[in-house]
Amino acid sequence: MSDSLASVRQLRGPVALSHLLLKNFVRTGSQLVDATCGNGKDTLLLARLAGETGHLYAFDIQKEAIERTFQRLSEQGLQDRVTLINDGHERILELLDSQIDAIVFNLGWLPGASREITTSSSTTIKALESSLLLLAPSGLLIVTCYPGHQGGDEEAVKVKEWAADLASKTYHVWQMGQVNVRATAPFCLVIQKSESSTDAP
């Protein structure tokens, strides 16, 4: 079995936890979004999970991230399952119009690149609100927040406040993170749209 689909044995950090959830909820044929493709690790997992009959749309505002992700996908022969979009994820509703089964955000900066370029609360919140409008009933929206860098604290607070205000009858919202680590450690928010939901956020 490939590394990206192997069983999760170490739940160190929120990304491993998000991958465990995705592997249990995403089915072959799913329509998926990686809203921050970065180095392409989440993108690769989602492309495998989508299977030959599914499709993944992967966003990143940095051309370097798109190039790294394309290289990673090409090495595994998965590039045809993915549409790479070199644009900000806040435009997701303008660029996509189909129902999406799972959407993943990994906030912060591009690993190995300048930390001057990071996600910000204003565009992130807009992207999250738009994502909910695309999310299919029972679909998952997973957001990994990184409060331990400049601007990350404010973004994490804003995202948590936004998620806490979602209607409980329409969305199931969870916060998950390790409790025996520093207070600024990353955590993830998991939002599932109700199975019968047709409501806007």
Domains in the chain (CATH in brackets) are 11-97+110-193 (3.40.50.150)
Confidence bin at 140 (pLDDT 50/70/90):
very high
Contact predicate 70/84, CB 8 Å: yes
Cβ atoms < 10 Å from Cβ of 6 = 9
How far is residue 101 from each of residues 3, 130, 132, 188, 193, measured CA to CA in Å? 23, 14, 11, 18, 10
The mean pLDDT of 97-118, rounded to a whole number, is 82
Residue 113: what pLDDT? 61
The percent of residues above 90 in pLDDT, for the chain, comes to 76
Q: Which residues contact 155 (CB under 8 A, 6 or more apart)?
A: 107, 119, 120, 121, 124, 145, 147
Q: Which residues contact 122 (CB under 8 A, 6 or more apart)?
A: none
Q: Which residues contact 153 (CB under 8 A, 6 or more apart)?
A: 147, 184
Confidence bin at 1 (pLDDT 50/70/90):
very low
Mind giving me the DSSP string for 75-110?
Answer: HTT-GGGEEEE-S-GGGHHHH--S-EEEEEEE-SB-
Intra-chain end-to-end CA distance of the chain, in Å: 39
